[in-house]
Structure 1
Amino acid sequence: MSDVSAFAAPSTPSTLPRPDFRYAGQVGRTFQDSDPATFPQPVSPPEGAPNIVLVLLDDAGFGQFSTFGGGVPSPTMDRLREEGIAFNRFHTTALCSPTRAALMTGRNHHSASFAGITEVATGYDGYTCVLPKSCGTIGEVLRQNGYMTAWVGKNHNTPPWETSQVGPFDRWANGLGFDYFYGFNAGDMNHWNPVLFENRDLVPASSDPEYHLTEDLADHAIDWVRRAKSIAPDRPYFLYLATGATHAPHHVSPEWIEKFRGQFDEGWDVYREQTLQRQKALGVVPADTELTERSEGLPSWEELNDDQRRLYARMMEVFAAYGAHVDHHIGRVIDTVKQLPDADNTIIVYIAGDNGSSAEGGLEGSLCENLFFNGISEHWEDNLLAIDELGGPKHFNHFPASWAHAMNAPFQWTKQVASHFGGTRNPMIISWPDRITDRGGLREQFLHVIDIVPTLYEVCGITPPDSLNGVAQKPIEGHSFAQALLDADAPETRRTQYFELAANRGLYHDGWMASAPSFVPWNPNRQNWDPDAAVWELYDVEKDFSQAKDLAAEHPEKLRQLQDLWWAEASKYQVLPLDWRATERFNSEAMGRPSLIGGRRSATYYPGMVGLPDAACLPMLNKSWRITADVEIPEGGAEGMIVTHGGLEGGYGLYLKDGKPTFVYNFLALERPTFVAEEAIAAGTRQIVVDFVYDGGGIAKGGAVTLSVDGDVVAEGRLERTVPAQLSLGEGLDIGMDVGSPVDFNYTLPFAFTGGIEKVTIDLEPAA
């Protein structure tokens, strides 16, 4: 059996940064009577420290990819497993931002203040979504120990109120220890028309008609790692590649979708059965694993009508293509890594999901995921009309919850349900040709995402700092599983792990799992939930891999022990107070989250203001407002966007089309009421005003719209309903063009304004 002596003892200082350089020689009156000068030397990493490539997919389930028995081909993952090892008892937190905070810091997500995603932060210690400086990231620690560091892809760990172009930037990726960043600061992103940053700079939209975000991220990862190793071949690198796939929107080209035509016509129930059979054949689950029952509220495939089956099978074809596509492009990155110096001394960690597959498409599937976050359900009959457009640029599509459940086979539940493995158990592959000799091996130790950081520190010879940048550090809460990399029989280092997300609770301890689900993701109504009345389940997961047999009635004493231990762990790691609110937590104004807007009732924007994040914009929901645009119209007229907020999945736009002032309100892609002047606007200095007078009487109500030019009404009407909680996903405000996806389909991006804009002013609840 191997032991920790297989890796070099940590040799780096426990206080970072290192002290400033001090010349140690003798200094005389002149250089002639002084000792020879010496320079401070760059920090050298521990001898033999490996390169690290950390790949994290988004919203992927245990039974999704073929490497773990799923129906989505994953040849890159297959290849890495053949030369490395697979882990079948690795766990995340059931949601993206919390998992990523834990992955980057080695602390539990509440300890790192990420009880949920950034958009639902509240003012309790474990819930602020402001990463404490006492939880330094692995990027910062490796950087200060001689590593080159890059983060490519999704960053969902910067507080929304800090994502604008004025920062502060200490919790952007560059401020968290990464020399280079290319990606997006949001939970998800339109893959055809993304809003991206390179370090702190907004990236211009691509002119490539075949552009796709996943391919772009792979290209930039390849460019960076080649550049780094060309410049400094003797220094190790840390590349963190966090794709937007397979999170909604499920965007992929038709030629990829076509590869999967007809493959899912038998439905999600058959898929689950077939997946478990494949998993057993591959040996990634025990031979006696049972398929769990269909989770509460999910329909069987047989009870659907023919049109529903046709629609849902197509949605799954799109999703499978999307997943196969991302694995293919990760393969391009891995191919590049394999060609670089010191390739065999590169540890590649490929984690298939930051949580289980997502049920946020609801029971009927979705053309606009933002509806879910606003608590609005869709209807399959409407979505069927768009069946041939799925995956393309017109929709922010997401498959039904039952397919998400199937992607998590053989487990119960989905993303957001932290009480069960369907929400938390994800495949992990680790390759390290120089050190891992058990090629194709399987590891069955119970692990959690917080265990990655201490493991990487150990294999790199890094001492976890007690003090980082002048701040005393919280202890690393993960446990290294470095021995398991070399020995399948290495002892399990994790005896206990709590789980909690929006009051979905679980506790693992010495082979037992207590589980208490609080809500189902496809039913956002959580108002009447009572934590003291919650029903707890009990599983012997040493014998019952899939949590198929609830033993609560047979072992009440064991269940009581684990319940009490859960509360103790919750108190220890800042989990309390429990908070099960849903849609209302998306309302930043109501929650009192920090804001660049503060108590302002008016804001003025000037040309060049593009990509301003939603959180830095005036809160226009559930109230009256006025947009005033002072523009200059040249002889011959003007075209283009004057001001827009949001995009495909929700928002508004004021623009000139055929010279005519036009205002469109995108109600979550369900309807786009449009108000158009009858005549083109005349040349000269003009003032265009959009007034919205809210009906009041609650949230999401309608109101009157008036469009006027120089005080004369040119169009008017009503909005019968308005967005209640979240206007858009990942897209903010632009002046003079449309950055990201279009708010409607009457123009071509970027739809730059051909006249002049002096300023655009937005007033909230203006005087009549």
Structure 2
Amino acid sequence: MSIDRPAETPDILPRPDFHFTGEVGRTYQDSDPATFPQPVQPPKGAPNIVLILLDDVGFGQFSTFGGGVPSPTMDRLAADGLRYNHFHTTALCSPTRAALITGRNHHSTSFAGITELATGYDGYCCILPRNCGTIGEVLRQNGYMTAWIGKNHNTPTWETSAVGPFDRWANGLGFDYFYGFNAGDMNHWNPILYENKNLVPASDDPDYHLTEDLADRAITWVRQVKSIAPDKPYFLYVAPGATHAPHQAPKEWIDKFKGQFDDGWDAYRQKTIERQKKLGVVPADTELTVRSKGLPAWDDLNADQKRLYARMMEVFAGYGAQVDAAMGRVVDAVKALPDADNTIIIYIAGDNGSSAEGGLEGSLCENMFFNGFPEKWEDNIKAIDELGGPKHFNHFPSSWAHAMNTPFQWTKQVASHFGGTRNPMIISWPDQIKDKGALRDQFIHVIDIVPTLYEVCGVRAPSELNGIQQKPIEGVSFAATFDDGKAASKRKTQYFELALNRGLYHEGWMASAPSFVPWVPIRPEDWNPDEQVWELYKLDEDFSQAKDLAAKHPEKLRELQDMWWVEAAKHNVLPLDWRGTQRMNAEAMGRPSMVGGRTKAVYYEGQLALPDSACLPMLNKSWTITAEIDLPDAKAEGMIITHGGLEGGYGLYLRQGKPVFVYNFLSVDRPTFTAEAALPKGKATLVVDFKYDGGGMGKGGTITLSANGSEIAGGRLEKTVPIQFSLGEGVDIGMDTGSPIDFTYQLPFKFTGKIERVEIEVKPGH
């Protein structure tokens, strides 16, 4: 094809060190003229690359693919390029992202789940192997400038503290510049961010929002590097947190959608498939699949449920519309640069399908889900006017996620069906793609992105990278489709697996075996995989997986089932592990830890944003906090220590000189213990002692708050957080980064006295 180019780059990277090859005499005067090693030159004509990856997006979510959320940026790129309607992910974020940047299957990269669910098997440990080099590293060593903006969920949780190691942070994975967060999701009003390896101070902009910040940083970087080195190509990877929970957006974006979803999720699905057929992104004979098992009909809800759930969808739509507009600002900046036409823009709408992790009744705090607690709409409706704002980590009900995935069954986490794995993709490249506005329907998987980019850039996938023999690239290039809409699909077979949701695609057939519904976080350990029911679909006749042919073609189903086991053995899928939030407890799972085996830790003022994974485990046991402080007067204020934030945790602070301890039980309840009198000027020792009742996880206990040896407050905690305090916030000393533990103070709530030390002691077995 016309854009094919031979790979002229080395098979082994890095290149050998420079060696002067001229004659060397006794002095420079009788030696050949000196020469210098020259900077690595990229292949001639190599394009710039902008890779945009949105989060938790359904196939039927954005208007470019028939959804109800406007996406003018996608529309523009699609009109100037190509839409792909058979592009597939892994059904979960970390696995898709590992596959995206390496070109290998997610189990091959050790990412069978998110980093917070890692176990100690080859396919599951969430430690990116050195034999799976990233496209960032390969392009960097072949003359590209590289940046990663936004979400990084591919660093092991136990390596995310200020002591690293940093070789699996974004910079260590081949990206010259990083600005973003090291977590699965992030509070968009009060995020914890890093620039390269450094904590970013909280913004003082009253209108701050993470999506806009990430867009601004991407624009600043690309303009800067092209101003400095206009002849060098760049690789810009932009991964905003939207539309992953929390669904948080400015009110002006949310209000644009008032009343637009009042007729509910069933009507939305019907209207969406009609739009999809009109746009041609699904075949005209596509059937709308039935509502996935366990999800309620909209008409069966009462009036208050409908009012709450419609508002939750309005919030989500505003959140989604905002991120597409922000990506539009990035695209505009890129297109204003001199070599814009030789820039490939790949816009992937989702690392998996839309998320059902809000549960059947929606959520005000997604961390409730990950701790195994369902929420009730009767409680959540009380906050209907605050949804999307800084007080809640909200998430819409599972049925809206299903609707976002129209016309498919199921949602995020369900790798067996396209509701979990099929995502819209748009590719624009003005210099080379001439079939503008066309649709491509070749079967493509996320692992195919890397070899495609290598091919069109003229870059060889090295067999050895940084001294390590590399695993072969498991993806296959689909660059031929840029020129030829009828090019044969090179991907003949692809396995799928996530927490026992299994599938296998082979030459137009799809075998699918769902296991657990994603809105039930705790799963039985006595499940028998051999009892799993498999379904069979013929995709060239059934785009949406609506017609199960398992009973009609048992021999074909058996063939694909057997092939699945072969692929599983080949790619480190075994042993199968279907446990849910049980795996979130790092201590119980035995994951590596900066505090493993320790029962005491001492912190000093200025310790900020220590990740939860590097904090002493304080759940389901007794503990004591001892703070030695020095007060300038009797009205000292501010945070002494906090762990967590909006979604859960605790805080010890002073207000008008009075010690206060608050325990945030997953944002549902905040028992607070306050001293009656202020502490006087001078040195003081504050102690918070918690005696755990025992008898299992999440039980209660007794709090005692004392100052200088005298009890000043105390009482009962009737229940405690069982699995994790927070999704993205850890310990702060002397101020509060991220979101507040309660809403009685203003961030950063810097302590006005001096903190000499804070000691935490945990008492396992108590």
1:393 corresponds to 2:390: yes
Q: What is aligned with 2:539?
A: 541
For residue 42 of structure 1, report the CA deviation from its aligned partner. 0.1
1:219 partner amino acid: D
What residue number does 2:686 align with?
A: 688
Match of 1:574 in 2: 572
* 1:31 alignment partner in structure 2: 28
CA distance in 2, matches of 1:635, 1:543: 77
Report the equivalent of 1:148: 145
| Map of 2:622 onto structure 1 | 624
How do residues 703-742 of structure 1 correspond to structure 2 at under 5 angstroms?
703-742=701-740
Are the counterparts in 1 of residues 497 and 503 from structure 2 also a CA contact under 8 Å? Answer: yes
1:508 is paired with a residue whose SS is strand
Structure 2 residue 198 is matched with structure 1 residue 177: no
Give the letter for the 1:249 counterpart.
P
Q: Distance in 1 between matches of 2:43 and 2:12?
A: 16
Which of 572, 597, 600 is 1:599 aligned to? Answer: 597
Spell out the pairing of 1:337-736 with structure 2 (5 A cutoff): 337-527=334-524, 528-736=526-734
How far did residue 767 of structure 1 move? 11
Match of 1:110 in 2: 107
Q: Deviations over 1:38-95 (max 9, x none)?
A: 1000000000000000000000000000000000000000000000000000000000
* SS of residue paired to 2:299: coil
- In 2, the alpha carbon distance for the partners of 1:415 and 1:295 equals 13
Deviations 1:118-161 (A, max 9, x none): 00100000000000000000000000000000000000000000
Give, as a single letter, the amino acid of the residue that structure 1 aligns with 2:587. Answer: E
The alignment status of 1:51 with 2:80, answered yes or no, reads no
Q: For 2:556 and 2:274, how far apart are their aligned partners in 1? A: 32
Alignment partner, residue 67 of structure 1: 64
Judge conservation of contact 2:634–2:678 (CA < 8 Å) in 1.
no
Tell me the secondary structure at the aligned position of residue 300 of structure 2: coil
TM score, norm. by length of structure 1: 0.99
State the alpha-carbon separation in 2 of the partners of residues 368 and 287 from structure 1.
Answer: 40
The amino acid that maps onto 2:37 is P
Q: What's the CA shift string for 1:662-703, capped at 9, x where partnerless?
A: 000000001000000011111111000000000000000000
In the alignment, structure 1 segments of 5+ residues that lack a partner are: none
- In the alignment, the residues of structure 1 paired with residue 631 and residue 370 of structure 2 have an alpha-carbon distance, to the nearest angstrom, of 39
Q: Structure 2 counterpart of 1:557, which letter? A: E
Query: Per-residue deviation at 1:634?
Result: 1.2
Structure 1 Cα separation of the partners of residues 3 and 389 of structure 2 = 50
1:194 and 2:191 are equivalent in the alignment: yes
Secondary structure of residue in 2 paired with 1:44: coil
Deviations along 1:622-645, one digit per CA (max 9) or x if unpaired, are: 000000000001124310000000
How many residues align? The count is 765
Give the CA deviation at 1:524: 2.4
Work out the CA distance in 2 between the residues paired with 1:213 and 1:414: 25
Separation (CA, whole Å) in 2 of partners of 1:647 and 1:635 = 28
CA deviation string 1:330-369 (max 9, x = no partner):
0000000000121000000000000000000000000000
SS in 2 for 1:544: coil
- The separation in 2 between residues aligned to 1:206 and 1:458, in whole angstroms, is 41
Deviations 1:228-274 (A, max 9, x none): 00000000000000000000000001111111000000000000000
> Which residue is equivalent to 1:320?
317
Question: How far apart in 2 are the matches of 1:767 and 1:236?
Answer: 57
Report if the CA contact (8 A) 1:222-1:336 is conserved. Answer: yes
Does the 8 Å CA contact 2:621/2:765 hold for their aligned counterparts? no
Identical pairs, percent: 75
Aligned 8 A contact 1:319 1:399 in 2: yes
Aligned counterparts of 2:588 and 2:215: Cα–Cα separation in 1: 39
Letter in 1 for 2:480: Q
Instruction: Give the C-alpha shift of residue 766 in structure 1.
Output: 8.2
Q: Which amino acid aligns with 2:305?
A: Q
Runs of 4+ with deviation above 6 angstroms: none
Mapped partners of 1:38, 1:724: distance in 2: 64
The SS at the match of 2:556 is helix
Out of 229, 245, 270, the residue aligned to residue 226 of structure 2 is 229
In the alignment, which of 7, 12, 15 is matched to residue 9 of structure 2?
12
Residue aligned with 2:237, SS: strand
2:746 — aligned with what?
A: 748
Query: Partners in 2 of 1:134 and 1:6 — Cα distance?
Result: 29
Q: Distance in 1 between matches of 2:121 and 2:519?
A: 27
Rounded to whole Å, the distance in 2 between the matches of 1:428 and 1:284 is 11
**Equivalents in 2 of 1:57, 1:659: separation in Å?**
46
Deviation at 1:564, TM superposition (A): 0.3
Is contact 1:140-1:176 (8 Å) kept?
yes
Question: Which deviates more, 68-77 or 581-590?
Answer: 581-590
| 2:734 maps to amino acid | G
1:530 to partner: Cα distance: 1.2
Letter in 2 for 1:38: T
Per-residue CA shift, 1:457-485, capped at 9, x if unaligned? 00000000000000000000000001011
Q: Secondary structure at the match of 1:259?
A: helix
Q: Would the aligned equivalents of 2:640 and 2:734 in 1 still touch at CA under 8 Å?
A: yes
Shift of 1:525: 3.7
Pick closer, same or farther for the CA change 1:512–1:766 going to 2, 3 Å. Answer: closer
**Partners of 1:518 and 1:529 within 8 A in 2:** no
AA matched with 2:582: E
Q: Secondary structure at the match of 1:764?
A: strand
Provide the C-alpha distance between the structure 2 equivalents of 1:767 and 1:309, rounded to a whole number of angstroms.
Answer: 46
The superposition leaves residues 406-462 of structure 1 with CA deviations (integer Å, 9 ceiling, x where unpaired) of 000000000000000000000000000000000001000000000000000000000
Structure 1 CA distance for aligned equivalents of residues 262 and 107 of structure 2: 41
SS in 2 for 1:564: helix
C-alpha contact (below 8 Å) 2:659/2:674 kept by paired residues? yes
Q: CA deviation at 1:526?
A: 2.0
C-alpha contact (below 8 Å) 2:621/2:764 kept by paired residues: no
1:124 alignment partner in structure 2: 121
Matched, 1:286 2:279: no
Partner of 1:86: 83
Distance 1:691 1:519 in 2: 40
Please give the alpha-carbon distance, in whole angstroms, between the structure 1 residues aligned to 2:633 and 2:761.
Answer: 30
Letter matched to residue 110 of structure 2: S
Counterpart Cα distance in 2 of 1:343 and 1:182:
23
TM superposition score normalised by structure 2: 0.99
